């Protein structure tokens, strides 16, 4: 099985905001597909916009790090949502989970991409445990999530993160609805076809009202099923385009 992380020089990959990524074309085993027949059936020919709980937690942790606090291009600090985040979580900037992420970012700025790729493979269960989804594996991710799981579970308990997430469900739903009305398979491939050689059977669009300056994609395949994860920014308007994509070799992948 092969899978590739792709973050070319892309301008405005999604949602009408200009984004410049310069990490180049690289391949990492950040996420491995372990798809069930149920997952394949439910997601074939689907573009799904979402704000997953673990993903939003990752962005909140980023906003609390030294990198997130000092960098003016990563976090949307002008929104009421950001103010809500700071009100709830600013007192926890020295929490172990934040310190772990900050340390990884200081070691290598690209580690956040590996971190959020891996977080997509996780969910929180009813006991507030951070557990892997059945569809994905993170064994070869550049970030060692064994270091994070306990710290993240402690963070969500002490900060009441899950209550915060639930309280902002209306905002998340509004953003997701706006994306869902404008995204489709043809529009997705119009953008991804500039970077990959084979069409995907599914696109998962991961959004956050916190982000404004870092977009990337991750191609995952398994059991003959090809899925593209798109990590994008959100603004008031969804627009799937890539008007100034730099010329980079197309990427192939297979099982």
Q: What is the 3-state secondary structure (H, E, C) of the chain?
A: CCCEEEECCCCCCCCCCCCCCCCEECCCCCCEECCCHHHHHHHCCEEEEECCHHHHHHHHHHHHCHHHHHCCCCECCCCHHHHHHHHHHHHHCCCHHHHHHHHHHHHCCCHHHHHHHHHCCEEECCCCCEEECCCEECCCCCCCCCCCHHHHHHHHHHHCHHHHHHHCHHHHHHHHHHHHCCCCHHHHHHHHCCCECCCCCEEEEECCCCECCCCEEEEEEECCEEEEEEECCCCCCCCCCCCCCCCCCCECCCC
Instruction: Specify the range with the lowest mean pLDDT, choosing from 16-30, 39-53, 198-212.
Output: 16-30
Instruction: Specify the range with the lowest mean pLDDT, choosing from 35-39, 55-59, 126-130, 197-201.
Output: 197-201
Give the pLDDT of residue 127: 96
- pLDDT band of residue 238 (cuts 50, 70, 90) is very low
CB 153 within 8 A of CB 129: yes
> Residue 137 corresponds to which tokens in the numbers above?
């594996």
Prediction pTM value: 0.84
Closest CA to 210 of 51, 94, 66, 99: 51
- pLDDT band of residue 6 (cuts 50, 70, 90) is very low
C-alpha span between 211 and 166 (Å, rounded): 19
- pLDDT band of residue 111 (cuts 50, 70, 90) is very high
Q: Is the pLDDT of residue 229 over 60?
A: yes
Give the pLDDT of residue 191: 83
Query: CA of 59: how far to CAs of 74, 170, 186, in Å?
Result: 10, 18, 29
C-alpha span between 66 and 98 (Å, rounded): 9
Give the pLDDT of residue 234: 53
Q: Is the pLDDT of residue 125 over 90?
A: yes
Give the pLDDT of residue 252: 53
- pLDDT band of residue 102 (cuts 50, 70, 90) is very high
What's the chain's length in residues? 255
C-alpha span between 190 and 164 (Å, rounded): 36
Q: Is the pLDDT of residue 22 over 90?
A: no
Highest mean pLDDT among 103-112, 153-162, 228-237: 153-162
């Amino acid at each position: 099985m092969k899978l590739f992380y792709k973050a070319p020089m892309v301008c405005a990959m999604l949602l009408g905001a200009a984004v410049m990524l310069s990490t180049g074309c690289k391949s990492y085993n950040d996420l491995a597909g372990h798809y069930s027949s149920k997952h394949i059936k439910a997601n074939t020919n689907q573009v799904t916009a979402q704000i997953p709980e673990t993903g939003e937690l990752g962005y909140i942790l980023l906003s609390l790090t030294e990198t997130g606090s000092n960098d003016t291009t990563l976090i949307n600090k002008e929104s009421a949502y950001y103010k809500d985040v700071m009100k709830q979580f600013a007192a926890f900037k020295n929490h172990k989970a934040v310190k772990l992420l900050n340390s990884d970012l200081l070691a290598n700025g690209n580690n956040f991409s590996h971190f959020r790729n891996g977080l997509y493979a996780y969910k929180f269960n009813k006991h507030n445990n951070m557990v892997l989804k059945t569809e994905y594996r993170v064994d070869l991710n550049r970030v060692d999530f064994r270091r994070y799981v306990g710290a993240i579970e402690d963070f969500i308990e002490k900060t009441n993160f899950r209550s915060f997430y639930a309280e902002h469900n209306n905002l998340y739903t509004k953003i997701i609805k706006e994306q869902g009305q404008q995204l489709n398979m043809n529009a997705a491939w119009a953008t991804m076809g500039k970077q990959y050689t084979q069409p995907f059977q599914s696109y998962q669009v991961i959004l956050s009202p916190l982000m404004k300056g870092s977009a990337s994609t991750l191609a995952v395949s398994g059991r003959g099923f090809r899925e593209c994860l798109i990590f994008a920014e959100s603004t008031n308007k969804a627009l799937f385009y890539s008007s100034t994509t730099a010329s980079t070799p197309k990427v192939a992948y297979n099982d």
